[in-house]
């Protein structure tokens, strides 16, 4: 399926609940259901409530939306190392309410993986999630979104573009390799959760640093 470039418009996310609910759907899709596992059936509303608040990794300020006509077709969330270091978990915990205990339990069980994902070195611009509507996959929208993040990274002075991809997601890994990214590190193995794992993929942009 092909989609002409002029049919796709990229825009900054709006800090409202409509964009927040759409972001929650794409975020959980990109994470293979991990956020639903952490937050339960209210996952959409919880993430949407946090989305409108600035100052954390899942805030609207870090999200770019792809639209086709009057339809949202995909989203990407990305931020620099400084923004990540200053991020607070408070907005998501406040929105989660009682579900924060469920979230804490999932994070505890998967601590080695979460520690790996949370490590964003200085100079790295981190692509936290990208997702496109299933019926529009293969149309180049994902590449457009990733390209927009790379442009943001270069403009910010970042030396590397980084992201994490599930170790068993060969399709996504192949896409990122076509976009110039290579595997830089792999998360520690968890014998109690053998299906979970991630590759950190990195693309060098400019300046000194690990390549």
CA 99 and chain centroid, separation: 21
- Report pLDDT for 4: 53
The Cβ of residue 26 has, within 10 Å, a number of other Cβ atoms equal to 23
**Per-residue pLDDT tens digits for 55-93:** 999 999 999 999 988 899 999 999 999 999 999 999 999
Place of tokens 């923004």: 83
d(CA 36, CA 154): 33
Alpha helices (runs of H) in 7-79, residue ranges in sequence order: 17-30, 34-39, 43-51
Partners of 137 in the beta sheet?
Answer: none
What's the Cα-to-Cα distance from 139 to each of 2, 16, 132, rounded to whole Å? Answer: 5, 28, 9
**Per-residue pLDDT tens digits for 105-147:** 999 999 999 999 999 999 999 999 999 998 888 788 999 999 9
Give pTM, 2 decimals: 0.91
Place of tokens 């919880």: 46
């Amino acid at each position: 399926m092909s989609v002409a470039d002029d049919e796709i418009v990229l825009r900054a996310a709006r800090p409202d609940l409509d964009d927040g609910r759409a972001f929650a759907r794409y975020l959980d899709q990109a994470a293979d259901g991990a956020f639903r596992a952490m937050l339960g059936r209210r996952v959409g509303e919880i993430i949407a409530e946090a989305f409108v608040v600035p100052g954390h990794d899942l805030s609207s300020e870090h999200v770019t939306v792809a639209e086709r006509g009057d339809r949202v077709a995909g989203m990407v969330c990305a931020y620099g190392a400084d923004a990540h270091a200053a991020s607070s978990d408070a907005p998501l915990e406040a929105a989660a309410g009682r579900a924060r205990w469920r979230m804490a339990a999932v994070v505890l069980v998967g601590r080695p993986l979460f520690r790996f994902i949370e490590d964003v070195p200085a100079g790295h611009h981190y692509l936290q999630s990208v997702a496109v509507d299933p019926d529009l996959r293969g149309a180049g929208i994902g590449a457009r979104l990733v390209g927009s993040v790379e442009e943001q990274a270069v403009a910010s002075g970042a030396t590397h573009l980084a992201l994490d991809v599930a170790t068993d997601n060969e399709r996504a890994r192949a896409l990122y390799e076509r976009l110039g990214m290579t595997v830089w590190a792999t998360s520690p193995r968890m014998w109690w959760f053998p299906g979970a794992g991630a590759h950190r993929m990195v693309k060098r942009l400019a300046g000194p640093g690990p390549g």
